[in-house]
């Protein structure tokens, strides 16, 4: 306040020297100087920004990007409050007595604005740098920490602003304890989603980028964002699916992204005429799987003759691929099936397909079971 009064006296003295006694002219000059100073700061910031783009550190870039707008807003707050102080001194209007607390609240809001912007810029720059360097980064943890920091800044700024306006912080907190019960009943769904999001951050059943699905609900896709109220899942047809966080506390969730291996299970049938070749085919298929570069040879594996089907002799393969990626898994699966087909052909056998064998006994047609078939009508 002393510095502000000194500045007012300097401006008033300057006005008297040049013959401008009107306080209106003083206000005009203050606003003009504020606008010019703001314009100069914009030009200076543009040049500084160009120089900072050449640096590789994220903290100076984050600080400068977060400081640009709040600092210019601070200049306007100081200039306008200076002008209003002149008006109050000359007019004596009671309404202008509220300028000082409003100015203080505005300064608190500007500081909070800078801190929130700095946290957001630092998060974006950190994630971009880690992705550019190819280093692993847990987006879910980074997102949770930055959200907690921003929430802490906002709550602290609100409490400081209330105290600046003359409210008792202890009274506000006491009222919040009583009113919190009523708010809890009124916003129970919102709170359940909030605590559901908190449980996701703590238990970590999935993170951003994971492929998740639920056997209880028609939920399947890639997690794009985990918010305090809802989680965004991008379905495989690219449609967004917004799931309230409280839903995940009541359903089972599968996370295929955390599989160590992917299961490969297939049933293959050969003709009944190729029954003598079944044992050698199964043996060669098993040897092929154990030596295949895409199959986990040390994992549990079964290749067995399985069933006498209606039109085929079936054997199955049960093994695990080394990859867990969906596209890569299907490439391995395709190669395995083609090699099985080649083994069957090399043994002189064929893949079975649904057939019905009709035996002709004399002039009478009989089915495979031996029952006579009806005579065809003319």
- Find out whether 271 and 354 touch, Cβ atoms under 8 Å: no
Digit-coded pLDDT (tens) for 238-261? 999 999 888 888 888 888 888 888
Provide CB contacts within 8 A for 339, sequence distance 6+.
288, 292
Nearest-Å Rg of the Cα atoms of the chain is: 38
Select the CATH number that applies to the domain covering 259-346 from these four: 3.30.9.10, 3.30.70.100, 3.30.70.260, 3.30.70.141: 3.30.70.100
The sign of the CA dihedral 125, 131, 132, 133 is positive
pLDDT-wise least confident of 44-48, 133-137, 202-206, 226-230: 133-137
Distances (CA, A) of 253 to 221, 228, 299, 362: 12, 19, 25, 64
Is the entire prediction scored with pTM above 0.85? Answer: no
Cα(222)–Cα(240) distance, integer angstroms? 10
Measured N-to-C along each axis, helices 139-164 and 99-133 cross at an angle, to the nearest 10 degrees, of 170
Digit-coded pLDDT (tens) for 25-43? 777 777 788 788 878 888 8
Digit-coded pLDDT (tens) for 261-286? 899 999 999 999 999 999 999 999 99
Measured N-to-C along each axis, helices 188-203 and 139-164 cross at an angle, to the nearest 10 degrees, of 130
Domain boundaries in the chain? 2-179, 190-257, 259-346
pLDDT-wise least confident of 63-77, 108-122, 286-300: 63-77
Q: What is the mean pLDDT of the chain?
A: 79
Select the CATH number that applies to the domain covering 190-257 from these four: 3.40.50.300, 2.60.40.1530, 2.30.30.60, 3.90.1150.10: 2.30.30.60
């Amino acid at each position: 306040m002393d510095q502000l009064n000194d500045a007012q006296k300097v401006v008033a003295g300057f006005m008297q020297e040049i013959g401008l006694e009107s306080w209106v002219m003083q206000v005009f000059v203050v606003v003009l100087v504020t606008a010019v100073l703001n314009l100069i700061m914009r030009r200076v910031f543009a040049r500084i920004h160009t120089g900072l783009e050449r640096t590789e550190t994220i903290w100076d870039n984050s600080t400068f990007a977060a400081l640009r707008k709040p600092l210019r807003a601070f200049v306007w707050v100081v200039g306008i409050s200076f002008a209003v102080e002149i008006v109050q001194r000359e007019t004596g209007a009671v309404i202008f007595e509220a300028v000082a607390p409003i100015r203080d609240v505005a300064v608190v809001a500007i500081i909070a604005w800078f801190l929130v912007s700095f946290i957001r810029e630092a998060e974006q720059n950190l994630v971009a740098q880690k992705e550019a360097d190819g280093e692993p980064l847990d987006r879910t943890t980074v997102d949770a920490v930055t959200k907690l920091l921003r929430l802490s800044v906002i709550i602290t700024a609100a409490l400081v602003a209330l105290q600046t306006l003359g409210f008792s912080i202890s009274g506000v907190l006491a009222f919040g304890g009583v009113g919190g019960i009523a708010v809890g009943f009124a916003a129970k769904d919102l709170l359940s989603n909030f605590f559901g999001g908190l449980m996701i951050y703590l238990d970590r059943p999935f993170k951003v980028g994971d492929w998740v699905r639920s056997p209880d609900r028609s939920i399947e896709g890639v997690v794009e964002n985990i918010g305090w109220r809802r989680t965004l899942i991008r379905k495989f047809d690219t449609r967004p699916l917004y799931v309230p966080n409280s839903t995940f506390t009541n359903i089972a969730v599968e996370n295929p992204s955390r599989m160590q291996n992917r299961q490969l299970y297939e049933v293959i049938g050969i003709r009944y005429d190729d029954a003598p070749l079944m044992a050698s085919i199964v043996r060669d298929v098993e040897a092929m799987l154990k030596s295949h570069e895409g199959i986990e040879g040390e994992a549990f594996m079964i290749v067995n003759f399985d069933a006498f089907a209606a039109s085929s002799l079936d054997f199955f393969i049960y093994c695990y691929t080394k990859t867990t990626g969906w596209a890569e898994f299907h490439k391995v699966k395709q190669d395995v099936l083609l090699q099985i087909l080649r083994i069957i052909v090399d043994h002189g056998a064929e893949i079975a397909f649904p057939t019905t064998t009709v035996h002709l006994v004399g002039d009478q047609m009989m089915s495979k079971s031996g029952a006579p078939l009806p005579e065809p009508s003319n």
